[in-house]
């Protein structure tokens, strides 16, 4: 990043899983980082190692309310990301995506900042095209349990492109596919954290459905590198751009790998498949490769090694941690 030591960067959702890793990288680059978070799913623990850093400022704020600050760049990550968290208060989830986008776009417009939106593969819904290219419009249920997240993120993309066309804002829209790594929430019900915590505790591994559904898992360090590269692309590159790992695994394969890597004696058991659970998901990553010169390179086995080590430590510190399991 050119002149990064002069760059004032706002990270919304900066105390969350992805946001805290992004704050780390921006501080390493010499940026002034303003981290804004309402601590709904994030925590100061994720930033404990940098709370005293002279170039980090942490502000408790909800992005559904206006924010008046002076910055050069904005990474808009604020939004609960796991189904359990975003379905807990679905109205607030939609507000966070939509009102949050309007406020951050209004801010970007006033201070002429470049703005990145953390969009999601969920904009493709339960896709009928595989792998998913950026020009696929998706297959989304507008009234289901996942809709607050999927449709909120879709509307946020609409707002980003309308501010781009109407107000000539410099926008970057990244569609993030399933990402994992240290600082994931131990009890947000996501598959990687659930399986690791269950395996480490020697408790049953909860496989939803028959485990034949697929996902492509990106290691967090790879993803954050993609965020930074995308922010540096020329102004005429807006995205949307898929950001994820192209290696596809069934959920049953993931369960077996986690059991093997943790030397666990945990048994794999079946649980009902949640509603609207996408059957297949894998990014078409050609645009990211050509525009960002980037592809995710961390193999699943290596990323899992770091993630298992993180949860192993966390369980030693807080042994009562229990994963959330779908009971529907």
User: Among all residues, which ones are annotated catalytic?
Assistant: 149
In the chain, which ranges are E strands? 8-12, 32-37, 56-60, 73-76, 114-120, 171-176, 179-180, 205-208, 214-216, 218-219, 241-243, 248-250, 268-271
Q: 107 touches which of ligand UDP, ligand NAD, none (CB within 5 to 8 A by kind)?
A: ligand UDP
Which segment (40-48, 50-58, 191-199, 261-269) binds ligand NAD by CB under 6 A?
Answer: 40-48
| DSSP label at residue 267 | P
Please say which residue, 246 or 266, places its beta carbon nearer to ligand NAD: 246
Per CB under 6 A, does 207 bind ligand UDP? yes
Coil vs helix vs strand at 313: helix
Among 3-11, 139-147, 175-183, 198-206, the segment contacting ligand NAD (CB under 6 A): 175-183
Contact with ligand UDP (CB under 6 A): which of 12, 97, 103, 280?
A: 103
Q: CB under 6 A: which stretch of 28-36, 136-144, 224-232, 269-277 binds ligand UDP?
A: 269-277
Helix (H, G, I), strand (E, B) or coil at 260: helix
- For residue 77, the partner it binds in ligand NAD, ligand UDP, none, with Cβ less than 5 to 8 A by kind, is ligand NAD
d(CA 266, CA 194): 12
Site for ligand NAD in 268-307 (CB under 6 A): none
Nearest of 310, 47, 41, 89 to residue 192 by alpha carbon? 310
179 binds, among ligand NAD, ligand UDP, none (CB under 5 to 8 A by kind): ligand NAD
261 binds, among ligand NAD, ligand UDP, none (CB under 5 to 8 A by kind): none
- 16 sits near ligand NAD (criterion: CB under 6 A): yes
Q: How many residues does the chain have?
A: 328
Contact criterion met (CB below 8 Å) for 16 and 40: no
């Amino acid at each position: 990043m050119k002149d990064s030591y002069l760059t004032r960067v706002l990270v919304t959702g900066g105390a969350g899983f992805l946001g805290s890793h992004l704050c780390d990288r921006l501080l390493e680059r010499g940026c002034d980082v303003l981290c804004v978070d309402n601590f709904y799913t994030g925590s100061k623990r994720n930033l404990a190692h940098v709370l005293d850093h002279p170039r980090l400022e942490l502000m408790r704020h909800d992005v559904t309310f206006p924010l008046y600050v002076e910055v050069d760049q904005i990474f808009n990550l604020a939004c609960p990301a796991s189904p359990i968290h975003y379905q807990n208060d679905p109205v607030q989830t939609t507000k966070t995506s939509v009102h949050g986008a309007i406020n951050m776009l209004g801010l970007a417009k006033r201070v002429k900042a470049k703005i990145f939106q953390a969009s999601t593969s969920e904009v493709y819904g339960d896709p009928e095209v595989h792998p998913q290219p950026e020009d696929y419009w998706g297959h989304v249920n507008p009234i289901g349990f996942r809709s607050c997240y999927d449709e909120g993120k879709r509307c946020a993309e609409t707002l980003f492109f309308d501010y781009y066309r109407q107000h000539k804002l410099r926008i970057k829209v990244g569609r993030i596919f399933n990402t994992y790594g240290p600082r994931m929430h131990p009890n947000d019900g996501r598959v990687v954290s659930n399986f690791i915590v269950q395996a480490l505790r020697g408790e049953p591994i909860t496989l939803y459905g028959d485990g034949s559904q697929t996902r492509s898992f990106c290691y967090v360090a790879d993803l954050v590198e993609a965020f930074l590269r995308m922010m540096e692309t020329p102004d005429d590159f807006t995205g949307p751009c898929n950001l994820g790992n192209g290696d596809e695994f069934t959920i049953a394969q993931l369960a077996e790998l986690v059991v093997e890597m943790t030397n666990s004696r945990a048994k794999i058991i079946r649980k009902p498949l949640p509603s609207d659970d996408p059957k297949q998901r894998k990014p078409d990553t050609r645009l990211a490769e050509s525009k960002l010169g980037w592809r995710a390179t961390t193999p699943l086995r290596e990323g899992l090694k770091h993630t298992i080590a993180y949860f192993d430590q966390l369980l030693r510190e807080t042994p009562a941690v229990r994963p959330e399991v779908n009971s529907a």
